[in-house]
Structure 1
Amino acid sequence: MKRLFSTAAVILSAALTLTACGGGGDPLTSASVSPTGSGAAAGGKVVVGSANFPENVLLAEIYAQALEAKGVQVERKLNIGSREVLVDQAKSGGLTVLPEYIGSLLAFVDKTTTAKTKDDVVAGLKEKLPAELEVLEPAAAEDNNSLTVTKATAAKDGLATIEDLVKVGKTFAVGGPPEFQSRQEKNFKDTYGLEFKEWKKTGDATADAIKDGTVQVGNVFTTDPKIVINDLVSLKDTKNAFAADNIVPLVNKAAVNDTVKSALNAVSAKLDTPGLLALMKRVAIDKDDAATVAKDWLTQNSLL
């Protein structure tokens, strides 16, 4: 949901955020890289952008610092807003590098896609992205939909995968956003033969509703820090009921060289979902500075 980066409300929020940041300039209109990106291609400079939510800002900071460690000059333009604006700026060369999510990005460029596995989604992106853009290597890390339970429930009922829920689903209440049942009830039944006793609209409180027993299972994003603080576990989606949404660098082809690609692919090779979840706990719960969290992770993974 948050990865859609769209709707008028998000765009308005982005505009207000930019105004509040001071300096009076719109980071989209003040980009200093030409559409050809010739400076970056010569190893001089890239512009790293992000959407306006904490995880995407953190990922952009990780990319930026990894590039700087390889001698690339980086300009940051963070907290920009909607995917429509971000992709358009990347296409024109105003932005060079963006952290993206493969499934959400494919759904944006191809409204009719039915791809679900990582390989199929990446293949769809290679076919449907504007000619100026490409995705590099996806990380193992995903910020994806999940069905999540307490660790105690998982242990008691022997739950490790969504398929394991089939044996107990008809005794479980499931929670999620208001549209969760209409979007997923048939999908779960077709993919896993999974049915639930009751569907509850728990919205943003889903993780807490799982913890307090209002529901036994719920739809929680896989990098939500409440998974850690509420002692929850996301069940493995072995049959791709939810389309793969691995984190991936989206780049302007003309504005990146082999040094840039190699540095970003090295980040993807190290980034997994449990690791990102731990980083997001530091940012969202502990309120640590994103740049500090990024530096710590890069150092721990020998990327600085």
Structure 2
Amino acid sequence: MTAVGIQWMRKRLPIVAVAAAMSLSAGCASSVLDPAEVSGPVVVGARDGADAELLAHLYAGVLRTTGIDVQVRDGLGDRSASLAAFDTAGVTVIPDYSGLLLAHYDPGVTSTDAEDVFEALARALPDELTIADYASAQNRAVLAVGTELGSQQDGARVADLADRCADLTFVLTPEFEAAGGFDALTGIGCEPRSVERADSTAAFAAASGDTVAGLTTLAPVFAAERSGSDVVAVPDHPDRAPMEKASADAEAPVFVAQNVVPVFRKDVLGEPQLDALRTVAGELTTTDLAEMLTRIDDGGDITEVADAWLAEHA
């Protein structure tokens, strides 16, 4: 099988199926293609945080459409504690963000675009775990500036700000830093005049003049207000299309991709469940997530918000 053929299969099928296809092409049989008998409840885990709990309910909901018993176990702690729950708490599936998962399992990897991060994560996972296709929905770091500074940049991207950083103040949110945003800026030689910390509302409001806000794409205030404000996002180099071969001189995005992706135990889910996971990959967008998190931030019940999305998409 050619490398292009395997890449196409990997994008169309979960990694667990592709691994089996590659094994069979080499003349080896593999049990991972056999439909798994789902015995007992499937447990979808969530680290602390409304976004993690929402993702857990979304994935649990699509898995329930296959007729199996699915439970959600939230409040598992930080990312390290939640991933440890695969071994300590009988968790079957944990949805999270690709770049942060890669940083947990293999912090030395420097990939930034979505496809490279996904492939590196598949290689970095422990033998007993695998992943399914990632969604376009993500919580990537983003820089927001006032329209005056944005117009001065004249189409420039994040990497082009490096030479101007000494004249700029950056107001960073905890989510921006957690997503690797500040580390990425220092990696391109961006040394701001000063750095402040604030929540997303304050950071967004500060973005004007020579002040830059470091947010993430799911910051509710950013997603809700940017279309009607004087704040614009500085573009990063876009991810290449899944089947597009990157040119030798193509620049990778500065900020690490943070696409939603489910990590799960091998040989537990059958083909109907793998198909269900693909539903989220094909349907869930950043706009969807931002809108749902805004409703939750306004007092909406996480389960009801997830159920409303599932009723429309699953």
Please name the residue that 1:270 is paired with.
283
Q: What does residue 307 of structure 2 align with? A: 295
Q: 1:218 Cα shift?
A: 1.5
- Take 1:287 and 1:158, find their aligned partners in 2: how far apart are those partners? 40
TM-score w.r.t. the length of structure 2 is 0.71
The superposition leaves residues 27-67 of structure 1 with CA deviations (integer Å, 9 ceiling, x where unpaired) of: xxxxxxxxxxxxx9423431111011000000101111111
Structure 1 residue 255, shift from structure 2 partner: 1.7
Pair 1:106-2:102 in alignment? yes
For the pair 1:204 / 2:198, whether they are aligned, the reply is: yes
Aligned to 1:144: 140
Residue 133 (str. 1) matches residue 129 (str. 2): yes
CA 1:91–1:252: 2 relative to 1, 3 Å: farther
Q: 2:37 aligns with which of 19, 22, 42?
A: 42
1:225 corresponds, among 201, 220, 223, to 220
CA distance in 1, matches of 2:102, 2:165: 31
1:66 is aligned to 62
**Contiguous gaps of at least 5 residues in structure 1:** 1-39
1:166-212 CA-partner distances (Å, limit 9, x unpaired): 797665432225979973444234xxxx675x3321x2335424424
Question: How many Å separate the matches in 2 of 1:123 and 1:68?
Answer: 28
1:185 to 1:162, Cα distance in 2 relative to 1, 3 A: closer
Alpha carbons 1:142, 1:247 under 8 Å: kept? yes
Q: Aligned to 1:120, what secondary structure does the other structure show?
A: helix
SS at match of 2:47: coil
Shift of 1:77: 0.8
Mapped pair 1:237 → 2:221:
no
Change in Cα spacing, 1:51 to 1:188, as seen in structure 2 (3 Å) is same
- 1:88 to 1:181, Cα distance in 2 relative to 1, 3 A: closer
Root mean square deviation of aligned Cα:
3.0
Match of 2:211 in 1: 216
Amino acid at match of 2:233: S
Q: Secondary structure at the match of 1:146?
A: strand
Match of 1:188 in 2: 188
Q: Which amino acid aligns with 2:80?
A: E
Contact 2:181 2:255 in 1 (8 A): no
The structural deviation recorded for 1:230 is: 4.2
Aligned residues: 256
How far has the Cα of 1:147 moved from its partner? 1.0
| Aligned mate of 1:254, from 257, 267, 270 | 267
8 A contact 1:211–1:230 mirrored in 2 = no
Percent sequence identity is: 27
Structure 2: unaligned runs, 5 residues or longer: 1-34, 238-251
Alignment partners' CA distance in 1, 2:276 and 2:225: 35
Cα distance between partner residues in 1 of 2:142 and 2:112? 14
Distance of aligned partners of 1:250 and 1:296 in 2 relative to their CA distance in 1, 3 Å threshold: same
Partners in 1 of 2:130 and 2:306 — Cα distance? 24
CA distance in 2, matches of 1:290, 1:207: 21
- CA contact under 8 A between 1:188 and 1:195: conserved in structure 2? no
Q: Name the amino acid aligned to 1:236.
A: P
2:295 to 276, 282, 288: 282
Give SS of 1:119's match.
helix
**Are residues 85 and 195 of structure 1, via their aligned partners in 2, closer, same or farther at CA, if it must alter by over 3 Å?**
closer
Aligned equivalents of 1:116, 1:157: Cα separation in 2: 23
How far is the alpha carbon of 1:219 from its aligned partner? 0.9
Structure 2 counterpart of 1:200, one-letter code? V
CA pair 237-291 structure 1, distance change in 2 beyond 3 A: same
Contact between 2:181 and 2:214, CA under 8 Å: does it hold in 1?
no
8 A contact 1:222–1:234 mirrored in 2: no
Determine the C-alpha separation between the residues in 1 that align with 2:302 and 2:181.
Answer: 35
- Alpha-carbon deviation of 1:235? 3.1
Cα pair distance change 1:152/1:142, threshold 3 Å: farther
